[in-house]
Amino acid sequence: MTDLYTRINKDDAVLLLVDHQTGLISSLVRDYGVDEFKNNVTALADTAKFFDIPVILTTSFENGPNGPLMQEVTDLHPNAPKIARPGQINAWDNEDFVKAIEATGRKQLIIAGVVTDVCVAFPTLSALNAGYEVFVVTDASGTTSKQVADAALSRMAHGGAQLMNWFSVASELQRDWRNDVEGFGNLLANHLPSYQNVIGSYLSAQKDLNEK
């Protein structure tokens, strides 16, 4: 029987960020507000940094209207491989992109990108065919409408991909609060404004205990 719950293993996962380019985000992402979407993408990139998960970046026509990658992402991962695709729509069709993934030796792919129905769906389905486990981060992937996103996510799920959001990715990697309460709490608080109250209360309580 196939396991119904396959967890992300931080020692076997790699994060793929596909075409999070400023021109594409501003012109094509309509299922999220721009600020919310950029925060979700940054939170996912920050999660990878916190858990020391390798990141691979790729762009399409970066010097044209698609624009450069989000600065927040490149600031967090300045040394990540960046594959500038010369024309391939499906990143999996780019030999350098696939080689960069293979070089990590990891078999779990966490993927997000713009747009969900093309730049995420196509490499996701290709990677599943190639034998990888794929975790699609829905709120760090955007497209032209919610209806389009829903259809693309359904297609990927039926193909075997697991659908998650950045918060569930972070929580599954953390496993247990006791692994690093303050570090993990600060990661969440930095990207979930409402969570700042939770971590603030915890730090205040800890301070009171230490002073007694």
The residues annotated with a catalytic role in the active site are 119
DSSP state for residue 93 in the 8-state scheme: G
CA distance 176 to 82: 32
**Are the C-beta atoms of residues 79 and 105 closer than 8 Å to each other?**
no
**Are the C-beta atoms of residues 47 and 173 closer than 8 Å to each other?**
yes
Per-residue b or e along 145-176, where b marks 16 or more CB atoms closer than 10 Å to that residue's CB: eeebbeebbeebeeeebbebbbbbbbbbbbee
Torsion angles phi and psi, residue 3, rounded to 5: -60, 135
